[in-house]
Structure 1
Amino acid sequence: MGVITSFLNGDQAVGMDYHQRTIGQSGYESDFHSHLEFEIYYFHNGECNYFINDKIYRLRPGDMIVMHGLTLHRPNPNLLIPYERTKVHFKPYYLENLIKAFNTLDLYRPFRQLKNTRMNLRHRENELERIFSALHQSYQLQGEPLYDARLQIYLLELLTLIYQSCAEKLDPHAFESGVNPKVANVQKVIDFIEDHFQEKSLTLDDVASGTYLSKYYISRIFKEITGAGLTDYITIKKVNLAKQLLLEGRTVTEAAFEVGYKHPAHFSRIFKQKVGMTADRYRKLNDMT
């Protein structure tokens, strides 16, 4: 099942998992998900295909992914070997005023303009580890007088490193073409879905016809590479777009029609199942006006 959720609760502005190491089914995000927070993900060790929006990244140690939170994403690690990563989630308002004080340098640009990007920072591993360690130590001091000041200092340092690395090391290639035929074919399926998922009816037969691949082959390799079912992915794509439309001020009915649902009541049931609340409540809770 796919879900759209939030990593942070209540007034919490920052969340962090430092050198999170798991093996087996538990301990990692097993569903497609999105959230209002920005996310920084750093891959230490293991084997993992990382699915972001309409791209598949085959991760190498030292890869960092910078994501706008509303981008639909999901890791699919090899569960037979240790999977180790560091993640930082934070709400955009947390550093907004400090960044505006820089006048010409917008450290949020990699998140807002690129939406999501992958770069390899293995060559800056020592510097990153120092920042992550300091950030983690500060994060554990919640409630102390200097908590926010320390956290903001190290977050700004991390964002500065990311800003520099996006300009110097940005990798425009989503995956290594030809390395793995299954990944290439799943990418073809994803590209087709990206172009057609807003249509009222998009079935496995449609995808097979549009990609010239067997529907049985598609079902098998899509699950193998992404870790999720094709139908569930299409549904989550629709709900995630609807979520963004609601944030932009569309009514529930307008959002339902725009993402391809003919009957708003059916859309509302699907939205509540995936998000955990009605579309109308979600729109009101996140009303920025």
Structure 2
Amino acid sequence: MIDFTYRNSRPIEPEFHSHTFYEVYYFHEGICNYLIGDKVYALAPGDLIVMYGMTLHCSKIDPSVPYVRSIIHFEPSFVKPYTELPNALNILLPFEQLRNYRIRLQGEQKERMEAMLEAMNGHKQRGGQISDNRLTLAFVDMLYFIYDQCMLPMKDKADAVSSKERAVQDIVTALESCYTDDLHLEQLEDKLHLTKSYLSKIFKEVTGVTIFQYVYRRRINEAKILFLLQPDLSVTEAGIRLGFKHLAHFSRMFKQQTGMSPEEFKKTGGYQFEASRTIALKKVQRQDNPDLEP
């Protein structure tokens, strides 16, 4: 599932948000300070940012000049099969290891990136099954390009990763195996041998969201994938599979994150997702309750 916006020049209002899908952001032109967590990047044309999404981020622009950017949002589970092919590399590693990283592209590398974005847009505009598949393959090729650009910083990161980041990665790994369960922090406490207060503190500090906010968003993203891959799956069955005890709770959380109800998402096949994403992200920031448990 790829949501691709090419050379968007629509003005925006600065607002911090986060999401569980990964993001590739390319800055074409304008004046922009990009805030990701506690870091501020003064962008220049050719800047490419890889983001794993969960860290709160926000772009602050100068509205007096055009702000042009290309953005790709994608579910890591959509790309994962391409990492399991013979001799394949883990092209998700830059997002998983660097989490949020700015690459300054110049000269030939800048031209290559812009040519890849233009080619992807051509496939998107043509539409149809062949073009959709070529769009996916072009994006996978772009991820290999990004991986190549990130090899050195990934090596440095592996040497310098903090104990907090390691612990948060352990939390995410543990959650992946139990996010559909009737989850309690005591389970993570027992599994990771860290107090639940410490787990909660460092997770929020590193990612910008609470553990249970992450769990809800992970569940809803999985629900979207289930509805796209299994269109006959009922909303009730999906909610049960993903650990929601009450259908109303599932429907409410789904709408907060996607801007539409599960039934609407199923009817449209998710085609309205891109148009509703901005609204949904704003709703999540206003309505998420960190004290709720699944």
Between 1 and 2, higher relative CO (CA 8 Å, sep ≥ 6) is seen in: 1
1:189 corresponds to which residue?
Answer: 171
2:288 corresponds to which residue?
Answer: none
Q: Which amino acid aligns with 2:212?
A: T
Figure out how many residues of one structure are paired with residues of the other and give that number.
Answer: 223
Matched, 1:275 2:284: no
Contact 1:178 1:184 (C-alpha < 8 Å) held by counterparts: no
Question: Aligned-pair distance for 1:110?
Answer: 6.5
2:229 corresponds to which residue?
Answer: 248
Normalised to the residue count of structure 1, the TM-score between the two structures is 0.56
Contact 2:79 2:140 (C-alpha < 8 Å) held by counterparts: no
2: CA distance, partners of 1:174 / 1:260: 39
SS at match of 1:196: coil
SS at match of 2:218: helix
Contact 1:62 1:122 (C-alpha < 8 Å) held by counterparts: yes
1: CA distance, partners of 2:210 / 2:147: 36
Matched, 1:113 2:70: no
SS at match of 2:183: coil
With over 3 angstroms needed to count, the CA separation of the structure-2 counterparts of 1:177 and 1:217, relative to structure 1, is farther
SS at match of 1:15: strand
Q: 1:127 aligns with which of 78, 102, 108?
A: 108
Matched, 1:211 2:192: yes
Question: Aligned-pair distance for 1:209?
Answer: 2.1
With over 3 angstroms needed to count, the CA separation of the structure-2 counterparts of 1:279 and 1:117, relative to structure 1, is same
Q: Describe the superposition over 1:1-38 as per-residue Cα deviations: whole angstroms up to 9, x where unpaired.
A: xxxxx997xxxx733368x9x9xxx736512154xxx9
Q: Which amino acid aligns with 1:16?
A: R
Q: Describe the superposition over 1:61-105 as per-residue Cα deviations: whole angstroms up to 9, x where unpaired.
A: 977549xxxxx83344699xxxxx9543389xxxxxxxxxxxxxx
Structure 1: any 5+ residue segments left out of the alignment?
A: 1-5, 51-60, 67-71, 80-84, 92-108, 139-147
Structure 2: any 5+ residue segments left out of the alignment?
A: 39-45, 60-67, 84-90, 96-100, 119-124, 272-294
SS at match of 1:118: helix
1:233 corresponds to which residue?
Answer: 214
Normalised to the residue count of structure 2, the TM-score between the two structures is 0.55
Matched, 1:74 2:40: no
Contact 1:29 1:74 (C-alpha < 8 Å) held by counterparts: no
1: CA distance, partners of 2:270 / 2:19: 24
Give the RMSD, CA atoms, in angstroms: 5.1
Q: 2:247 aligns with which of 264, 269, 274?
A: 264
1: CA distance, partners of 2:176 / 2:73: 28
SS at match of 1:14: strand
With over 3 angstroms needed to count, the CA separation of the structure-2 counterparts of 1:213 and 1:28, relative to structure 1, is same
2: CA distance, partners of 1:192 / 1:225: 16
Question: Aligned-pair distance for 1:218?
Answer: 1.4
SS at match of 2:54: strand
1: CA distance, partners of 2:270 / 2:208: 33
Contact 1:32 1:74 (C-alpha < 8 Å) held by counterparts: yes
2: CA distance, partners of 1:30 / 1:217: 24
Q: 1:15 aligns with which of 6, 10, 22?
A: 6
With over 3 angstroms needed to count, the CA separation of the structure-2 counterparts of 1:16 and 1:88, relative to structure 1, is farther
With over 3 angstroms needed to count, the CA separation of the structure-2 counterparts of 1:209 and 1:110, relative to structure 1, is closer
Q: Which amino acid aligns with 1:27?
A: P
2: CA distance, partners of 1:179 / 1:90: 26
SS at match of 2:14: coil
1: CA distance, partners of 2:17 / 2:48: 20
1:224 corresponds to which residue?
Answer: 205
With over 3 angstroms needed to count, the CA separation of the structure-2 counterparts of 1:259 and 1:15, relative to structure 1, is same
With over 3 angstroms needed to count, the CA separation of the structure-2 counterparts of 1:177 and 1:28, relative to structure 1, is farther
Q: 2:162 aligns with which of 180, 198, 212?
A: 180
| Identical pairs, percent | 22
